[in-house]
Homo-oligomer: A and B are copies of this chain.
Amino acid sequence: MATLHHYPLCPHSRFIRLALGEFGLDATLVEERVWERRREFLELNPAGTTPVLREDSGLVIPGPGPIAEYLDETRGLALAERRLLPEGPGGRIEVRRLLDWFNIKFNEEITAPLVLEKVMKRFMSRDEGGGPPEMSAIRAARGNVRYHLRYIAWLTAKRNWLAGDNLSYADLAAAAHLSCVDYLGDVPWDEDEAARAWYARIKSRPSFRPLLSDRIPGMAPSAHYDDLDF
């Protein structure tokens, strides 16, 4: 079985866990506390970031983008009309554009600061950058969630899923980031019914279940985190 080096509240790890689920692939999960910079992990990925997928063959694929492209290239055709990176150039461009939107922009503006300040800093030593959270960073990130929800609502007003008729990597990435923010209780679902309805659809997929049972030690998720009818 393949191995996925991940961190439970790493949105990029969650994106790949969702993708593996949609492909019907099992992987052994190995938790990496990236701030500890474990030597064997840095040999797999010198950038020191999660996720890293390791195939049985020994092939190592680091990073959400490279893993998503690799899965599409090696197993995409088997999904037929459920392929997560669609066949035509226009569809592929739109999915990749939205992947960057969530994995870069949403991440920088929301997920990365929230997870660093509220979660990782609790577990990091002083030398690793640990300490009390910076409230200004948390407030800024919370403010940014709103316009991303509106963007999701705008996309789903025109389309069945974020990038078009079918579920794609774009939905999985968006849901992965939102699921981290939702664990922390920082998604104002009651302010955007269309975004909530889209998230409810993806949250009820079997691939999402393992994410809903993740727990960070000493840090319970928001009350509605694993509720499919939130």
**A interface residue numbers (CB < 8 A to B):** 45-47, 59-63, 65-66, 69-70, 73-74, 89-90, 92-93, 96-97, 100-101, 104-105, 151
| Pairs across A and B, CB under 8 Å, 26 listed | A45-B97, A46-B101, A47-B100, A47-B101, A47-B105, A59-B89, A59-B93, A60-B93, A61-B93, A61-B97, A62-B97, A62-B100, A63-B96, A63-B97, A63-B100, A65-B96, A65-B100, A66-B97, A66-B100, A69-B69, A69-B92, A69-B96, A70-B92, A70-B93, A74-B89, A104-B104
Contacts of A73 in B (CB 8 A): 89, 92
Cross-chain contact A70 with B47 (CB below 8 angstroms): no
Q: Which single residue of chain B is at the shortest CB-CB distance from A48?
A: B105
Bound form: Cα–Cα A100–B89 in Å: 22
Question: B65, A65: Cβ atoms under 8 Å?
Answer: yes
The 8 closest A-B pairs by CB, nearest first: A66-B96, A63-B100, A61-B93, A62-B97, A66-B93, A47-B105, A66-B97, A47-B101
Q: Is the interface of A mostly helix, strand, loop or mixed?
A: helix
Expressed in whole angstroms, the minimum distance between the Cβ of A3 and any Cβ of chain B is: 15
Residues of chain B within 8 A (CB-CB) of A60 are 93
Bound CA span A69–B73, Å: 12
Shortest A109–chain B CB gap in Å is 11
Instruction: Supply 6 further A-B pairs (C-beta < 8 A) apart from A66-B100, A69-B92, A104-B104.
Output: A45-B97, A47-B101, A61-B93, A62-B97, A70-B93, A73-B89
Whether the pair A59, B90 counts as a contact (CB closer than 8 A) is: yes
Write out the residue numbers on chain B whose beta carbons fall within 8 Å of the beta carbon of A65.
Answer: 65, 96, 100
CB nearest neighbor in B for A62: B97
Whole-angstrom CA separation of A89 from B58 in the bound complex: 13
CA distance A100 to B68 in the complex (A): 13
> Which residues of chain B come closer than 8 Å to A63, judged between CB atoms?
96-97, 100
Closest to A55 in B: B89
Q: A100 CA to B47 CA in the complex, in Å?
A: 9
Q: How far is the CA of A73 from the CA of B90 in the complex (A)?
A: 12
In the complex, which residues of chain B have a beta carbon less than 8 angstroms from the beta carbon of A97?
Answer: 45, 47, 61-63, 66
